[in-house]
Amino acid sequence: MTNKKLLLIDGNSLAFRAFYAMYNQLDRMISHEGLHTNALVAFNNFLDKIVDPMAPDLALVAWDAGSGKETHRGKLFPEYKDGRSKVPEEFKEQFPYLREMVMLHGLRNYEQAGLEADDIIGTYSRMGEAAGYSVIIVTGDQDLTQLATENITVNVTKKGVTDIESYTPAYIKEKFGLTPDQIIDKKALTGDTSDNYPGVTKVGEKTALKILAEYNNIDNLYDNIDKMKQSKMKDNLINDRELAFQARELATILTDAKLPLPLEEMEYRGVDFEKIIPFYENLDFKQHLAKIKALRKSGQLENTKEFDNGVNFVELKENNLRAIAMLGDKISVHIEFVGDNYHEGEMIGFAIGNPEVGYYASRDISLLQTEELKSVIENDQILKNVFNVKAQLVLFKRLGLALKGVSFDFMLVAYLLDTVANDNVLSTLAQRFDVYLAPDEDIYGKGAKFTVPTDTNLLLSHIAHKADGLFKLEKPAFTELKQHEQTHLYTDIELPLAFVLADMEYQGIKVNPEYLRNKGKDLSERIADIQSAIYIEAGEEFNLNSPKQLGVLLFEKMGLPVIKKTKTGYSTAVDVLEKLAPQAPIVDHILQYRQLAKLKSTYIDGLLSVIYPKDSKIHTRFLQTLTQTGRLSSVDPNLQNIPMRSEEGRLIRTAFIPSHPDWQIFGADYSQIELRVLAHVTGDKNMQKAFLNGEDIHAETARAVFGLADDAVVDPLKRRTAKAVNFGIVYGISDYGLANNLGIPRAEAKRFIDTYFQEFPQIHEWMNTIKTFAHEHGYVETIAHRRRYLPDIQAKNFNLRSFAERTAMNSPIQGSAADIIKIAMIKVNEALRENNLQARMLLQVHDELIFETPVDEIDELTEVVTNVMDSAVALDVPLKVDAHHGDTWYDAK
DNA sequence: AGATTCACG
DNA sequence: ACGTACGTGAATCTA
C-alpha cells in the first residue's frame, strides 16, 4: 500500500544548521583528540531521530563539490557566492567525520564536480518519482521547496536540525499562495543575498508575492509590463529586467543533470553497529555508546536493518480478545492520553501484555470495557506494571473500571529513588536504567503542533514500547529501592496513597458557582473604584499590574525611597509597600488593589474556569511525585492555597460546599506537627516536655528564650518573636534570615538563636549532626526513609552551600510531617470503610484533611478521624488533632 | 521563558 | 566577607 521511500538529504545545509544549532556548546563539545564535535553530535541526532526510524528503502546524502565557483552557476555568474563569510575552522574539521558518520548509519554519500547538492537532489528526486518512489527531501534551504510535487515532500529545518517544516504543493499554496514553480519566480524577483546575486531593486518577499499573485510568473510579468500602472516599482522592474532573468536561472535547481549513480545503488542499510562503536568512542559519544550497549544487552541488535524491533505487538480487535486471558499473572498496562490532565484528556490508545506472550494494543478504548479485558484489569491476582498509577486509576474509573493488582509504578519508584532527577517523563527516567524509549515528542510533536499520528502502527508501537519498557525497568528499579531501604515507603505508603488520592480527585469537591459570580461582580466594582482613585492620585493612567510601570511612578515620579531592588528593577512587593504606605496614600490603595485583583483573577475567575459543568465540581490533581520533601502539591487548580489569612479572602471558602443536602464540610488538622516532629527527631528533652505537658509551645519557647519563670505570663510580642524563632529553626535558621523576618538587628537575632540552642541543646546538636550527615552522604532522610539528595552541599559557592545546609535541616522535618499525614490518609480511608461511614475525604492541605459528611455522622467521624490521625505514627511526643465542621469550607473553622 | 508577585502550609 | 528564611502554583508582565 505505502510506496517505497527515497530519502534525499542536503548534507551541506544540514551540517551548517547542525553546527550553528549547537554553536553555544562549541567550547564544551571537544573530543579527547581536541576535535570539535558540536555539528557531529547534532547531525548524529538527526540521523538517529529522523532517518533511522524512517527506515527508507533508498537514501542519499548529497554534498556540494568545491566552493561553488566551478559549478554551472559559477560559470553563469562569476560573483556567485562571493562575499560569503569564511567557513569556520571548527566547522571544517568536522567535515570528514560527517561523511563517515553518514556511511556508518547506512546511507550513501554523493557529490559530483560541477554540481551543487541541490542539483543532485533535484535530479534524483525526479528520477525517484518516475520510478514510483515517495521522495522525501530534507534540507536547511527553503529554495528546495520548488521541487515539491504530489510525490516529493520537501522538509525544511526550522530550528536546529530535528524541528522540521514539511512542504507539499498544498502547503506551499497555503503558506505563500504559490505553486512550487513560482518559488523560482519569487527568488528571481527578490534575489539571494547569501549567494550574492541581486534580484529586482526594492522587491522583497511581500512585493514578490503580490506581483506573482497578479502575473503568475516573470515571463508574463514582463510581457505585460507596459500595461502596468506607473510606479517606482515599475521602473525598478524595467531597469532590473536582466537581473531578474539571471536570478531566475541561478535559482532554478537542475532536475536533469547527468548523474552516473543509479538509484539501485542507494540502498539504505541501517546502522552498522560493529563499526560505529569505535567511531563513537573516538568522538567520545558516551550517550550513544550507552544506548547501543543497552540495545545489545536486550538482544535487539540481531538485525541491524531494523533499529527497533524488540517489541512484538498485535493489534487487539473483537476477534482476538480471548488472547488477553492467556497473558498469565503478570502484565504491563498502559492507557495513553492527551495532555497532563487525566480527568479530561482524550484516551487515544492502550497496550497490555508482557514480554513472554507479547503485547496487545489498540486505539479502540471501548475494548477495555469488554468482559475479557475487565476480568483482567479488575483481577488483583494479576500483577501489573504501570507508569503513574494514579493517572491510570482515574482513566479506568472514567471507563467504569477499577484497576487492581498494581505492583510496580515506575513513576513512584523513580521519584522515591531521586526527587532531584525526577521529571515525571517515562522516556527520560528510563534512560537512568539504560532503557531507551522514544520521547513522546518524537511521536506527537510538541506544543501547538501536537498531533496523534494517523499511522496506527506508529502509535500502537509507541504505546507497546512503553508497556514493554516497564518490564525492563521493574527489576533494576526495585533493586535500588531495596538498597535505599525504601521498600516499606513504597509498598505501604506511596502506592496505597495513590489509590486514596485517585478516589479523592475523582470524587471532586462541589463548588457554588453562583456565589463566586456574585462575589466576582462585587470585586469588579470595587477594583474599578480603587483603580480610578489610584489614577487620580497618580495624575496619570498606567498599567497597575506592571511592577515596572508602578516602580517608575513610585520611585521616579513620586520620589519615594527605594527599599529593595529586584534583578530587573525596583521591588514593589508587599513588605516594601507597607513601609512606604505612611508616606503616600496611593500606596495603601495599591495594596488594596493588589489584594482584590488577586482574589478576582486567581480565585474567582480561576476557580470558575475549572468547574466541571457535568457535576459542578472541581477535580484537582495532587502531584505525588513532584516536591523535593515528600509533600503533595495540587494543580489545575491548586486547592492547597485557597485564601485563609485575610477575612476578605477567606470568604472564597464559602463557595466550597458538600455535594449532598444535609451534609457538611469537615476538617481535621494537626496542631504544630512540624515542631512535634522536630522534638521527636532531635530527641530534645526540653521541647518534648513542653509537648508532653500540653503547653502552648510558642509561649514556652518565649519563656526559654527570654529567661522567664515557668509560670510567667508571656506578652504577645515575646510570643510572636518566639514563634518566629520556632519557624526559623524549622527552616534551617540563620541570624540574617531571622533578623530580616523580625525587623531586628542581626546581633539581636543571633542572641535569640544562641539562647534557643542553649535551652534546647539537643536541637542544636541535631542541626550539626544532620549537616555532617548531608556532607558525608550527599542526602538526608525522613522517618520513613524518604530521601532528598543535596548535590550543592559540597559547593564552593557560599550561597549554594548554605542553601543546601538549610535544606538538610528543613527537609527531614517537613518530609517526616508529610510521611505522617500520608500514613494517616491511608488509615483514615480504611477506617471510613470499616466503620461504614458515607463521609468522603476530599482534600489534603499539608497538615489538614478536608471531608464531606452527612450531618448525622459528624460525631462518629470526629472520633474516627482524630483517633486515626493522632495515632498514625507513634512519636516520642503526642500528635494533636483539631476538628471543625460547618455548612461550607469557610464555616468549618 | 523568566521574573515578579502573592496565595497557602 | 559572603547575604537566604522551607515547600509549593497561578496570574501577569516583559522580553
Residues A668-704: tens digit of each pLDDT: 999 999 999 999 999 999 999 999 999 999 999 999 9
Kind and range of the H or E run holding A742: helix A735-742
Under 8 Å between Cβ of A795 and A719 = no
Q: Which residue is nearest to nucleotide C9 (CA to C1')?
A: A638
Q: Name the grid cell of A195.
A: 549567494
Does residue A845 lie within 7 Å of nucleic acid chain B, judged by its CB?
Answer: yes
The pLDDT, as a whole number, for residue A301 is 59
pLDDT of residue A304: 35
Whether CB of A464 is under 7 Å from strand B: the answer is no
Chain A residues 583 to 622 whose Cβ lies within 7 Å of strand C are 601-602, 605-606, 609
Using CB atoms within 10 A of its CB, is residue A96 exposed (0-12), middle (13-18) or buried (19+)?
exposed
Task: Measure the CA–CA gap between A883 and A888, rounded to whole angstroms.
Answer: 14
Question: Residue A571, CA: closest nucleotide via C1'?
Answer: B4
| Contact (Cβ atoms closer than 8 angstroms) between residue A307 and residue A347 | no
A32 C-beta less than 7 Å away from strand B: no
Nucleic acid strand C within 7 Å of A623 CB: yes
CA distances from A569 to A325, A430, A540, A772 (A): 66, 42, 21, 39
Q: How far, in Å, is the CA of A637 from the C1' of nucleotide C15? A: 28
Task: Round and report the angstrom distance from CA (A598) to C1' (C14).
Answer: 19
Cβ-Cβ contacts under 8 Å for A454 (sequence gap 6 or more): none
Closest C-alpha among A117, A5, A21, A106 to residue A58: A5
What pLDDT is recorded for position A29? 81
Kindly state the cell numbers that stand for A601: 483573577
* The three cell numbers locating residue A611: 468547574
Measuring from the CA of residue A573 to each C1' atom, give the nucleotide at the shortest distance: B5
Phi, psi (degrees; rounded to nearest 5) at A84: -70, 135
Q: Are A726 and A697 in contact (CB under 8 A)?
A: yes
- Strand B proximal to A569 Cβ, under 7 A: yes
Q: Three-class SS of residue A790? A: coil
Q: Is the CB of A643 under 7 A from strand B?
A: yes
Q: Indicate the range of A459-468, A531-540, A588-597, A733-742 predicted with least confidence.
A: A733-742
A579 touches strand B (CB under 7 A): no
Long-range (24+ apart) CB contacts under 8 A made by A460-463 are A460/A313, A460/A315, A460/A349, A460/A351, A460/A361, A460/A362, A460/A363, A461/A311, A461/A313, A461/A361, A462/A336, A462/A438, A463/A334, A463/A336, A463/A349, A463/A350, A463/A351, A463/A361
Q: Residue A612 CA to nucleotide B4 C1', Å?
A: 31
* C1’ C13 / CA A379, Å: 52
| End-to-end CA gap in chain A | 68
**What percentage of chain A has pLDDT greater than the value 90?**
65
Q: Where in chain A is the domain with CATH 1.20.1060.10?
A: 512-610
Q: How many other C-beta atoms are found inside a 10 Å radius of the C-beta of residue A215?
A: 17
Q: Is the CB of A448 under 7 A from strand B?
A: no
For C10, which residue's CA is nearest its C1'?
A602
pLDDT at A261: 86
Q: Cis omega (within 30 of 0) on the bond before A854?
A: no
Closest nucleotide relative to residue A600's CA, C1' based: C11
Give the C-alpha distances (Å, rounded to integers) separating A797 from A619, A733, A801, A803.
43, 19, 6, 10
Residue A598 approaches strand B within 7 Å at CB:
yes
Residues 6+ apart with CB under 8 A from A609: none
Alpha-carbon distance A658 to A890, whole Å?
A: 12
Residue A329 pLDDT > 90: yes
Per-residue confidence at A71, pLDDT binned at 50, 70, 90?
confident
- CB A606 within 7 Å, strand B: no
Residue A162 contacts residue A189 (beta carbons within 8 Å):
no
Q: Which of residues 506-545 of A touch strand B (CB under 7 A)?
A: none
CATH 3.30.420.10 residue ranges in chain A?
Answer: 313-484
State the amino acid at position A519 in one-letter form. Answer: K
CATH 3.90.1150.10 fits A5-265, yes or no: no
Which residues are CB-contacts of A321 (< 8 A; sequence separation ≥ 6)?
A367, A370, A372, A373
Residue spans in chain A of domains classed CATH 3.40.50.1010: 5-265
What is the mean predicted confidence (pLDDT) over A122-128? 95
Query: What pLDDT band is residue A1 in, cutting at 50, 70 and 90?
Result: very low
For chain A residues 330-349, those near strand C by a CB cutoff of 7 A are: none
Closest residue to B7 by CA to C1' distance? A641
Q: Which nucleotide is nearest to A742 (CA to C1')?
A: C5
Please check the confidence at residue A298 and state whether its pLDDT lies above 80: no
Instruction: Report, in ranges, which bases of strand C sit under 7 Å from a protein C-beta.
Output: 1-15
What pLDDT score does A28 carry? 74
In 3D space, the residue among A320, A339, A293 whose CA is nearest the CA of residue A440 turns out to be A339
Contact A450, A346 (CB under 8 A): no
Q: What is the third-level CATH fold of A512-610?
A: Taq DNA Polymerase; Chain T, domain 4 (1.20.1060)
pLDDT at A213: 84
Nucleotide nearest to A629 (CA to C1'): C7
- A889 Cβ partners below 8 Å, 6+ apart? A642, A653, A654, A655, A656, A657, A665, A667, A850
Grid cell, residue A155, equals: 522538509
What's this model's pTM, rounded to 2 decimal places? 0.70
As a rounded value in angstroms, the CA-to-C1' distance for A25 and B1 is 20
- Strand-pair category, A163-167 with A152-159: antiparallel
User: Percentages helix, strand, coil for chain A, rounded to the nearest 5?
Assistant: 55, 15, 35
**Cα gap A445→A455, rounded to integer Å:** 14
Q: For chain A, how many helices (H) and strands (E)? A: 38, 26
**Residue A884 φ then ψ, to 5°:** -145, 155
Nucleotide nearest to A609 (CA to C1'): C10
Question: What average pLDDT is seen over chain A?
Answer: 91
Q: Contact A687/A760 with Cβ under 8 angstroms?
A: yes
Residue A466 has pLDDT above 80, yes or no: yes
Check if the beta carbon of residue A353 is closer than 8 Å to that of residue A332.
yes
Compute the average pLDDT of residues A102-114: 89
| Grid cell of A879 as nine digits | 500528635
Flag the least confident range among A71-80, A125-134, A733-742: A71-80
E strand or H helix at A622: strand A621-623
Cα–Cα dist A465/A514, whole Å = 47
- Phi first, then psi, for residue A579 (nearest 5°) are -70, -30
Distance between CA atoms of A664 and A888, rounded to whole angstroms? 7
Q: Hey, what amino acid is at A429?
A: L
A540, A628 in Cβ contact below 8 A? no
CA–CA dist A146, A168 (Å, integer):
10
Closest CA to A24 of A42, A43, A5: A42
Nearest nt to the A597 alpha carbon by C1': C11
pLDDT(A555) > 90: yes
Selection from A147-156, A403-412, A540-549 with the highest mean pLDDT: A403-412
- Over residues A483-520, the pLDDT tens digits come to 999 999 999 999 999 999 999 999 999 999 999 999 99
Q: What is the mean pLDDT of residues A114-139?
A: 92
- Does the C-beta of A455 come within 7 A of strand C? no
Q: Could you check: is the Cβ of residue A572 within 7 Å of any atom of nucleic acid strand B? A: yes
* Mean pLDDT score, A733-758: 91
Residue nearest to nucleotide B5 (CA to C1'): A573
Between helices A746-759 and A716-731, what is the axis angle to 10°? 80
Enumerate the nucleotides of strand B whose atoms come under 7 Å of any protein CB: 3-9
Report d(CA A816, CA A873) in Å as an integer. Answer: 10
- CA–CA distance, A672 with A675 (Å, rounded to integer): 6
Q: How many CB atoms lie within 10 A of CB A833?
A: 9
Q: What percent of chain A has pLDDT over 70?
A: 96
Which nucleotide across the nucleic acid strands is nearest to A817, CA versus C1'?
A: B9
Q: How far, CA to CA in Å, does A667 sit from each of A649, A846, A862, A878, A889?
A: 18, 12, 9, 20, 8
Question: Would you say the C-beta of A633 is within 7 Å of strand C?
Answer: yes
- Burial label, A345 (beta-carbon count in 10 A; 0-12, 13-18, 19+): middle
3-state SS, residue A224: coil
Q: What is the pLDDT of residues A403-426, one digit of tens each?
A: 999 999 999 999 999 999 999 999
* Class of the CATH domain delimited by A313-484: alpha beta
Q: A68 falls in which pLDDT band (50, 70, 90)? A: low
Give DSSP secondary structure letters for A504-525. HHHH-EEE-HHHHHHHHHHHHH
- Map residue A572 onto helix, strand or coil: coil
Q: Is A20 helix (H, G, I), strand (E, B) or coil?
A: helix
Give the closest nucleotide to A547 (alpha carbon vs C1'): B4
pLDDT recorded at residue A167: 85
| pLDDT > 70? residue A82 | no
A587 three-class SS:
helix
Which of residues A647 and A19 earns the better pLDDT score?
A647
Chain A window 843-872, residues with Cβ within 7 A of nucleic strand C: 846
Of A143-152, A179-188, A203-212, A427-436, the one with minimum mean pLDDT is A203-212
